[in-house]
Amino acid sequence: MLSIFRNPAVAGHQETHVPGGEIVRDLVFGANDGLVSALAIVSGVHGAQLTSRIITYAGMAEIVGGFISMGLGAYLSVKSAKEYIRGERRREEYEVKHYPERERREVHDIYEAKGFEPPILDAIVDHVCADDERWVNIMMQEELNLVAEGSLSPGKSAIATGGAFAVAATIPVLPFVFTGNVHSAFLWSIALTVSALFLVGASKTIVTGFKWWRSGLEAMGIGGLAALASYLIIGWAASL
C-alpha cells in the first residue's frame, strides 16, 4: 500500500493534477468494494433460495461489517504510511547532519542525471544544500520518491473509504427491502449494481486518466465474476 503514496510528479512525471486525489481514490476504492462485496453476498444467499428478509439481513450485516473493516483498514494503512515516511525523514536528517559530503554528492548525482551541467549544476547543489530542511525535503522527494507526511490523513481516509463502502453496499440490498418477490428483487439488484459498478469504474479515470468506458467495463466484469462465484458456490452448498 505504501506505493500509492509515492509522488507521481517524480515517478515518471505522471501528474494527475486532481485536487484531493487521495480522497477520490479512497471513495472509488470503498464504493467499488462495497458494491462487489454486497452483490456477492446477496447473490450467494439468493442462490441458497432464502427469503427477502433473510437476504436483507445478510446484506445489512455485510454493510456494517464492511464499513468497520474498510474504515479501520484504510486508517491503519495511511497511519503506517505516515510512520514510515516519518522514519525515513529522521534517517535523512541524520545523514545530512552526520554525512554531509556523501549526501551532497547524492544531490549532485540526482540533478546530473536530470541533465544539468556545471556551472548550473553546481549552483543547484549549493542552493539545495544551503538549508538543511530544504535539503532533506529534496532527498525525500528525489531520492526516496515520497510525498510529505502532512498530506496524508488517516481519519479522512477511514471516513471516505468506510463511508463509500457503506453507501455503495446498500445498492444491491435495497430491492430486497422494498419487495418480497425474491426473483424480481434479485434482477433489480443485479441491474442497479452493474450500473453503479460501471459508474464507479468510469469515475476512476478522474485520477487515472485511462479510458472511462474501459475502466467501467472492467469494474462490471470483476463485480459480475464475484457475484457469480458466490451464487454458484452457496447455491451448490445449499443443495447438499
* Mean pLDDT, residues 139-165: 88
> pLDDT tens digits, residue range 171-193?
999 999 998 889 899 999 989 99
Q: Where are the domains positioned within the chain? A: 2-6+17-234
Q: Find all residues with CB under 8 Å of 152, minimum gap 6, and list them.
A: 5, 22, 78, 81, 82, 85
* Mean pLDDT, residues 95-114: 95
pLDDT bin (cut points 50, 70, 90) of residue 23 is confident
pLDDT bin (cut points 50, 70, 90) of residue 13 is very low
* Mean pLDDT, residues 213-234: 81
The predicted pLDDT at position 14 comes to: 43
Phi-psi region of 12 (alpha: psi -120 to 50; beta: other; left: phi over 0): left
User: pLDDT: is 36 or 223 the higher one?
Assistant: 36
Tell me which of 1-5, 207-211, 233-237 is least confident. Answer: 1-5
